[in-house]
Copies of this chain bind each other. A is one copy, B any other.
Amino acid sequence: MPIPTSKPFQKQTAKDKAYQQIKEWIVNGTLMPDEKLAEVELAKSIAVSRTPIREALLRLNEEGLVVITAGKITRVAQIDADNIADLFEPMAVIEGLAANQAASKIDEAEFKKLATLEKKYRVSLNSNKLINILKADRIFHQQILAIADNAYETKFSDQLYSHIYRYELAMIKMLDADHQNFKITANHEALLKALAEQNPVKASATMTKDWLSTLQKIVSIQELTESQK
């Protein structure tokens, strides 16, 4: 018998299906901030019963994308644009740590893969769709987290990112009409170099700076649009 190549078939449960779907709807704006989330309605829409919907909502509540209060109506969490730093600052230090650890333990194969992703990222910079850039950027970061190989860090980063991505998508939608070409791009070459040199301190500092400068860019865009009112 040939050894099965794929992992032991992971069943896609109704709960997971509901979770992914609702999360996507919230992140991409289909479900608007503060919108009411009735379990029966969602159940009908996703074609499962209330139970998996409920379990998905509880998880999203944990992650802060949904607000469940006592026995009251469940709502989509608001986007706290005022406190966007609350997302970026922990992100900066956690992925800074991940970069540090990755630099300490990265091997040849991992570095090659990372370099490929960096190249893809640079290619994406020529795209006129900002979303493509954001996605390529995220994949690059996720690879660093994978190399660091710390489940807590990875989960925390993913969680923060879903909020950040949601915010960025909302911002793009809002601004795209006016500013065709505002960029939230990063310079990954310095980071890649620090990892090549296996220099943890430099890798960490570069990663942290990357996130904080992105935060700065976003804040300045906020101020710009704020002043335009």
Contacts and interface: CB of A to CB of B under 8 A. Distances in A.
Interface residues of A, number: 27
Interface in A86-109: 86-87, 89-90, 93-94, 96-97, 101
A86 B160 contact: no
A2 interface: no
A13 to B, nearest CB: 8
- Which 8 pairs across A and B sit closest by C-beta, in order of nearness? A93-B93, A93-B97, A86-B150, A11-B70, A90-B153, A156-B156, A90-B152, A62-B62
17 contacts: A11-B70, A54-B55, A55-B55, A55-B58, A58-B58, A58-B59, A64-B151, A64-B152, A86-B151, A86-B152, A89-B150, A90-B150, A90-B156, A93-B94, A93-B96, A93-B97, A152-B159
